[in-house]
Each structure stands twice: as structure tokens, then as C-alpha cells.
Amino acid sequence: MDADLKVLEEKVARLIALCQSLREENLQLRQELAQAQDDTRQLRENMTLASAKLEALIDRLPIEAMSKESV
């Protein structure tokens, strides 16, 4: 009976260690996800700004330059 309790105690200890390891991994993954989401948001903002700047530059082009490009 002592052997059974010892085996059970070892299994419980391994389970506790596994749960702690998974908690730490989950925390790390949440942090990485938050960083990736922030990076994505920043890239979208940069793309929007760049697009607006390009549109402003296109609007400032002379009409003759635009008609030559379409030919």
C-alpha cells in the first residue's frame, strides 16, 4: 500500500509540475500574441499613412504627367 501511495504521490507531483509549466507557457504565448497584435496595428497605421501620402502626391501631379503615363 505504501508503494501505491508513493506512485500516486509521484504522479501528482508530475501533474503539478506539468500544470505550472503549461501556465508559464500560456503566459509567454499571451505576451507574444499581444506583441504581435500591437505590431500588426502599428503596421496597419503605417500603411494607412503611406497610402494617404501617396494619394496626396498623386493629386499634386500635373494632369499632363498623368495622361502620358496612361498611354
What residue ranges do the domains of the chain occupy?
Answer: 2-60
Q: Which three cell numbers stand for residue 2?
A: 505504501
Measured CA to CA, the distance from residue 37 to residue 30 in angstroms comes to 10
How does pLDDT run across 27-57, given as a tens digit for each residue?
A: 999 999 999 999 999 999 999 999 999 999 9
pTM for the predicted model, two decimal places: 0.67
Cell 505504501, residue located: 2
pLDDT of res. 41: 98
Measured CA to CA, the distance from residue 18 to residue 26 in angstroms comes to 12
What count of other Cβ atoms lies within 10 Å of the Cβ of residue 31?
10
Q: Where are the alpha helices (DSSP H) in the chain?
A: 2-60, 63-69
